[in-house]
Amino acid sequence: MSVKNIAIFGYNPMSFELIKCLDLKQHEVIIVDQHQDSLIAATDLGFTVIATDYRNDDNLQEVGIGRHIDVLFCFFEEDSSNLFLTISARAMDKKLEIISIVDDPESADKLIVAGANKIIDPYQICGRKIYQLIKNPDIADVLDHTIFGRHDLNTAEILIPPDSPLEKTYASQLQLNSRYNLILIAIVDKELGKELHFTIGEQDHKLDAGDILIVLGPSRQIKAFKKEVEKQA
Q: For residues 205 and 22, what is the distance between their CA atoms, to the nearest angstrom? A: 28
Domain locations in the chain? Answer: 4-135, 153-229
Give the residue ranges of DSSP H helices in 22-146.
Answer: 36-44, 57-63, 79-92, 108-114, 127-135, 137-142
Contact criterion met (CB below 8 Å) for 230 and 164: yes
Q: Please tell me the class of the 4-135 domain.
A: alpha beta
153-229 belongs to CATH 3.30.70.1450: yes
Tens of pLDDT along the chain (233 residues) come to 578 899 999 988 778 777 777 777 788 899 999 888 888 888 988 889 999 999 999 999 999 999 999 999 999 989 999 999 999 999 999 999 999 988 877 788 899 999 999 888 655 554 445 555 555 554 455 455 444 455 456 677 889 999 999 998 888 888 887 788 888 878 888 888 767 676 655 568 889 999 988 887 777 888 889 888 987 65
